[in-house]
Amino acid sequence: AQSVSQHNHHVILSEAASLELGCNYSYGGTVNLFWYVQYPGQHLQLLLKYFSGDPLVKGIKGFEAEFIKSKFSFNLRKPSVQWSDTAEYFCAVRPSTGTYKYIFGTGTRLKVLA
Amino acid sequence: DAMVIQNPRYQVTQFGKPVTLSCSQTLNHNVMYWYQQKSSQAPKLLFHYYDKDFNNEADTPDNFQSRRPNTSFCFLDIRSPGLGDAAMYLCATSTRQSSYNEQFFGPGTRLTVL
């Protein structure tokens, strides 16, 4: 069955610390990959996405993610977090063909201490 | 701004009393989705529409129904809410043209069942 795993459920960092959130998926075919962020009281919004080409993609607010096909991973990174990055982060996968469905991970709740 | 709007933002209902949640979009997207999200869990897809074609997830309870009278609007009907249906309900849209297009989410409706 298709699934997405986010191993870190809660992460607490101090400002300026580096961030890496793990995302692994289980699917045999070609996929498109997404990271969404949900700030407190706000709706889910796209942080970045990968569909082809350079496996290192850059998103908004200094975030980037690297697609490693051999590891079925799409980890999110930021070199230096800010208090305003406190949010919940969701990894999602959509198979490239045959479906309109997106599969979400359980999310990682990030708290950045000022 | 083009967007996805959900009403109401907060809904309180009594056990067994039918409730309808609404979603509208100004993006003119073909595909609309309803998700149920409980605390610390991944958004769970209930159903989605591709235009007027309705696609129900196999594990979506019969208690949940949906209507899409036109491209812009989609409704979620919960016929007899139980305590276990208390959750955040998210509406999302996407285009069918390409699988690398992301979903656009509404702010959600938080349902409380008394």
pLDDT in tens, A8-30: 899 999 999 999 999 999 988 88
Using CA atoms, how far apart are residues A104 and A102, in angstroms rounded to an integer?
6
For A43-79, b/e burial (b = at least 16 CB within 10 A) is bbebbbbbbeeeeebebeeebbbbbeeeebbbbbebe
Nearest of B86, B8, B108 to residue A88 by alpha carbon: B108
Quick: pLDDT tens for A34-73. Answer: 999 999 888 899 999 998 899 999 999 999 999 999 999 9
Q: Look at residue B83 and give its three-state secondary structure.
A: helix
Question: With the C-alpha atoms ordered A108, B55, B5, B26, is the resulting torsion angle positive or negative?
Answer: positive
Using CA atoms, how far apart are residues B85 and B62, in angstroms rounded to an integer?
12
Using CA atoms, how far apart are residues A60 and A82, in angstroms rounded to an integer?
13
Quick: pLDDT tens for B32-70. Answer: 999 999 987 889 999 999 999 999 999 999 999 999 999
Interface test with B, best of A100, A103, A108, A111 (most B CBs within 10 A): A100
Length of chain B counted residue by residue: 114
Using CA atoms, how far apart are residues A97 and A100, in angstroms rounded to an integer?
8
> Taking CB atoms and an 8 Å limit, are B99 and A105 in contact across chains?
no
Using CA atoms, how far apart are residues B107 and B110, in angstroms rounded to an integer?
9
On whether the CB atoms of residues B46 and B35 are closer than 8 A, the answer is: yes
Chain B (18-57) residues lying within 8 Å, Cβ to Cβ, of chain A: 31, 33, 40-43, 45, 48, 50, 55
User: What pLDDT, on the 0 to 100 scale, is given for residue B98?
Assistant: 64
Q: Which residues lie closer than 8 Å to B69 by C-beta, 6 or more apart?
A: B75
Chain A (32-51) residues lying within 8 Å, Cβ to Cβ, of chain B: 32, 34, 36, 42-46, 49, 51
Mean pLDDT of A75-102: 92
Q: Does B7 touch chain A (CB under 8 A)?
A: no
Using CA atoms, how far apart are residues B14 and B23, in angstroms rounded to an integer?
22
Structure tokens at B2: 């083009």
On whether the CB atoms of residues A27 and A114 are closer than 8 A, the answer is: no
In this structure, the strands spanning A10-14 and A31-38 are unpaired
Q: Give the bridge partners for A111, in sequence order.
A: A12
